[in-house]
Structure 1
Amino acid sequence: MTATPFLATVRHVRTTPLRHDFTYRTCSWVTPLTDTDPSLGIPWWQRPFVKFRAADHLGTTDSWRANIEAFAQCNGLDLRGCGITALSGAATLGHAFDPLTLYWVTSPDGPVVAVIAEVRNTYGERHAYVIRPDERGRASVGKELYVSPFNDMSGSYTMSLPRPGTEGFDIHVTLHRPGQAPFVTSWSGKRPTTWREHLTLAAHLPLSAQLVSARIRIQGIYRWARRLPIQPRPTSHEELS
């Protein structure tokens, strides 16, 4: 199997203390992690501007899979013989920014045994959660990383994390906080089937990481201008490396 690009849609919905709903398109990749460089699975005509780099994710070696295996071992998971499938963006023209990268760990006989959710904020910090979803791909986990300046550190996430299929994926993450309405994020993708979808994917692909970074910052400025309160950022966070 090789890295597969999907035309993805990301949506964020906030209802309190003000209503804010924004959606953007991007290019996301489903990538089986093996001992070989996943960038070798990128079509030749995309390689000049798209690349996968282990350094853009958790770990310190040059092997993306080895880094995930080492992290899993530190958290009580033995991935020997297991399959690992990543859902992420890619580095485009040297820049990478993945707010969320998901890794499905499958046993040798096929079922999903765990999902690793790697979260990164705009301050360069990251945190990874080891999640054990139920048979429907659902799970809950406490919030451990300051992600947005408009959300404090309280609360917990419920996640719907069905394994990506050959035709697409559909991810939902909901932040629940005491006394407040949920903050909902969805991330869905499909393989292009029409010429218009292929053109849209091709237009997003060369600068997808830059566009994600820009959109997040623009939306932050917009919310700040609407006087959405800024929540204090913790003084430190133990970043995974």
Structure 2
Amino acid sequence: MTGAPALYPCTVAHVRTGPRRYALRHRTYLWLIDPDRPPRLPAALRPLARFDARDHFTGDHPTLRAGLDAFLATHGMSLDGGRVLMLTHARVFGYVFNPLTLYWCHGPAGDLRCVVAEVHNTYGGRHAYLLTPEATEGTGVDKEFYVSPFFPVDGHYRMRLPSPGDRLALTVHLDREGGRAFTATVRGSRREATAVALLRQALRHPLSTLVVSAAIRFHGIRLYLRGLPVQPRPDHPSTPEKAT
């Protein structure tokens, strides 16, 4: 387990199988960082990548790690100072949208104690799921958070979230009554997080986090125009807009 930050150019694919089949894919890039030691970039590159504690969990903790530790404490869990790997989008020119941020949480001896999957929706809401170490091979958790306006808050996620190495290979299924309703995959390859590598990704995917957010809304409009009914959104704690 290395503490050096890394970049993962990747392809994100969504396949909706019910009530109407719809598929999409887009390319982006993600960061793998140690939240205790976020990357320190040259001043000229800082607009391309910033990691703020306000963008995660309740948003009111002084550091990324403090927010994670506070969440774990609500579940009676402590890492006892162990290392964490965090896979996420960074703020790009002051804007961030993170559909899914993952934390692989280890004990002091390097043993994987849990995986935290933090989900954000386009309405400003956040929710985190605490998963057992078996999430690296595939584990399930009940859906508790409104994400897509076309799915109610029901069903069961099955997640396969192996810790990133040379390859990134994540899979999330949503199973509802009647069968599998949705599958999301993320596939990518590791790159050393050098200035040149970051510039290359920023040029290939300009305003990457804004593009991700806009693409979700665009595809939502397409589904709505195709007649997919919108599900009522339940009350859920929300957070302020992510733009500075």
Q: Deviations over 1:32-68 (max 9, x none)?
A: 121x4x141x466532322111111113122111111
Following superposition of structure 1 onto structure 2, how do residues 1-241 of structure 1 map, counting pairs within 5 Å? 1-34=3-36, 36=37, 38-40=38-40, 42=41, 46-59=45-58, 60-134=60-134, 136-165=136-165, 167-192=166-191, 201-234=201-234, 236-239=235-238
In structure 2, C-alpha distance between the alignment counterparts of 1:160 and 1:135, rounded to whole Å: 6
The AA in structure 1 aligned to 2:210 is Q
Q: Deviations over 1:135-168 (max 9, x none)?
A: 8532100001000001111101000010111x23
Secondary structure, aligned partner of 2:213: helix
- TM-score using structure 2 length: 0.88
- TM-score using structure 1 length: 0.89
Identity %: 40
* Cα drift, residue 112 of structure 1: 1.2
Secondary structure, aligned partner of 2:147: coil
Alignment: residue pair count: 233
Consecutive unaligned residues of structure 1, counting only runs of 5 or more, are: none
* Cα drift, residue 192 of structure 1: 5.0
C-alpha distance 218-67 of structure 1, shift in aligned 2 (>3 A): same
* Cα drift, residue 120 of structure 1: 0.6
In structure 2, C-alpha distance between the alignment counterparts of 1:136 and 1:145, rounded to whole Å: 22
Consecutive unaligned residues of structure 2, counting only runs of 5 or more, are: none
Secondary structure, aligned partner of 1:23: strand
The AA in structure 1 aligned to 2:4 is T
Secondary structure, aligned partner of 1:152: coil
C-alpha distance 240-132 of structure 1, shift in aligned 2 (>3 A): farther
In structure 1, C-alpha distance between the alignment counterparts of 2:109 and 2:89, rounded to whole Å: 28
Q: Deviations over 1:56-96 (max 9, x none)?
A: 11131221111111111111111222111100101100001
* Cα drift, residue 198 of structure 1: 8.3
In structure 2, C-alpha distance between the alignment counterparts of 1:97 and 1:233, rounded to whole Å: 20
C-alpha distance 192-116 of structure 1, shift in aligned 2 (>3 A): closer
Asked if 2 retains the 8 angstrom alpha-carbon contact of 1:106 and 1:113, the reply is yes
* Cα drift, residue 226 of structure 1: 0.8
Asked if 1 retains the 8 angstrom alpha-carbon contact of 2:123 and 2:238, the reply is no
The AA in structure 2 aligned to 1:140 is G
In structure 2, C-alpha distance between the alignment counterparts of 1:69 and 1:104, rounded to whole Å: 12
* Cα drift, residue 240 of structure 1: 8.1
Secondary structure, aligned partner of 2:164: coil
